[in-house]
Amino acid sequence: MKTVSETISGASHLTCSNCGKIYNIHQQQTYASCCNQPLFTQYNGIHPAKENLVNQPHHLWRYAAMLPVFDATNRISLEEGFTPMHTLHKFSAKYAVNRLYLKDEGVNPTGSFKARGLSVAISKAKELGIEHCIIPTAGNAGGAMSAYCAKAGIQATVVMPKSSAMLIKEEVQMFGAKLIEVNGFIHDCGKLVQQIAAETGAFDMSTMKEPYRLEGKKTLGYEIAEQLNWQLPDVIIYPTGGGTGLIGMWKAFAEMQQMQWLNSSKKPRMVIVQTENCNPMIQMIEKGKKNESFQPGYSIANGLVVPTPFAEKSMLRVIHESKGTGVTVSENDIQQGIREIARTEGLLLSPEGAAAFAGFKKLVEKNWIESQENVCIVNTGSWYKYH
């Protein structure tokens, strides 16, 4: 097999995630108009050698050969990625699993996993000559986009619910972005973003409505594999709103299998965790259809309040292919999870991360997770950003 330097992208084209129609990667793209579905970046089969990673920097761009930015001068990085993988020994024993891992994304620049997706997406925006980006957000994605746009010299507009944390609103403005607040939830913000983008020509960075945030988020999957010596866990539990991280990890696992980077052909069972106040994906998993009358409610885990995720079809495909499942947790479960992890492991999880931990406990109780298994929980952000 041929190899290339990790500084050269092997990206070749984009495809519709539903029908496979090819789209040009060298032009501005949003989503696949043929099927109204997300676009996925494809790579040309000239694969980097895993052994060469030893010479790469310990951040997201160590996987540059499998990222879609062609000119290294366009990379906009705050040294995001390569976040800690904690082994929770006390909880491994308490809940009788072989190993319980916590991937802590709260230490990323701007305090959340959103830094991954926005680093790559804004880098690609720079490469494509985009001058103004706009995003609807529950909070963290807006902060991340504002930071990366500031470094790239790209104008940024952020639309978020008025109920979002004040600290995040201040963060967005500190980075020089224009902040617009909306009465409602993220889908209401999304409608306004579409209107503003149409009127101004700003590029819409909405979740899964452009192809490159997914590519940044998939590095979470690459890191989990590398940090566990290329042996994937049996189960990955992921707090899910728009689903970019879930879909991205699954894409990463497929790419690594193709490149023969993994020590086993077995991939994890993927688990979606949502709050009882907004669980559209769990309803679809359990009932096999969308609840058209669904109305979201407020949650302390505001990143999970995504009532109409654009990539629902791709998320359901991941759950089906991985033989995974979905779990609903209560607001009280989330609060208890924050305290339990903090007082036992000395880690302060975001409400979304605590939701994943609460989901883990429920799956252990149901014997869906077995005693010999290795489980990875993803904490998507920093507790400090919610206060």
313-364 pLDDT, tens digit per residue, is 999 999 999 999 999 999 999 999 999 999 999 999 999 999 999 999 999 9
| 293 has a pLDDT exceeding 90 | no
pLDDT higher than threshold 50 for residue 6: no
Q: Helix 351-365 crosses helix 331-345 at what angle (to 10 degrees)?
A: 100
The pLDDT of residue 5: 41
Tell me the average pLDDT of the chain.
95
Least confident of 5-14, 101-110, 239-248, 351-360: 5-14
- Map tokens 């995720």 to a residue: 309
Q: Which secondary structure element, helix H or strand E, spans residue 104, and what is its range?
A: strand 99-104
pLDDT at 76 > cutoff 70: yes
DSSP assignment of 12-71 equals EEEEETTT--EE-TTS---SBTTTTB-EEEEE-S-PPPGGGGGGS-SSGGGGGGGSS---
2 pLDDT band, cuts 50/70/90, is very low
Average pLDDT rounded to a whole number, residues 174-184 = 97
Q: Please report the pLDDT score of residue 312 as a whole number.
A: 96
Q: What percent of the chain has pLDDT over 90?
A: 91
Residue with tokens 């607040």: 181
Higher local confidence (pLDDT), 272 or 291: 272
Look at residue 4 and tell me whether its pLDDT is greater than 70: no
85-87 vs 99-104, strand pairing mode: antiparallel
The pLDDT of residue 291: 78
Write down the pLDDT at residue 292. Answer: 75
115-154: per-residue pLDDT in tens?
Answer: 999 999 999 999 999 999 999 999 999 999 999 999 999 9
**Cα–Cα distance for residue pair 233/223, rounded to 1 Å:** 12
Q: What is the pLDDT of residue 7?
A: 55
Mean pLDDT of 245-261: 97
pLDDT band at 246 (very low <50, low <70, confident <90, very high): very high
Cβ–Cβ < 8 Å for 156, 177: yes
pLDDT of residue 1: 37
Residue 11: pLDDT band by 50, 70, 90 thresholds? very high
Q: Per-residue pLDDT averaged across 83-99, rounded? A: 97
The predicted structure's pLDDT at residue 287 = 87
Identify the pLDDT of residue 277. Answer: 96
Tell whether the model's pLDDT for residue 49 goes beyond 90: no
Question: Coil, helix or strand for 374?
Answer: strand
CB within 8 Å of 69: residues ≥ 6 apart: 9, 75, 120, 123, 124, 127
Tell me what pLDDT residue 198 has. 97
Distance, C-alpha 104 to centroid of its chain: 13
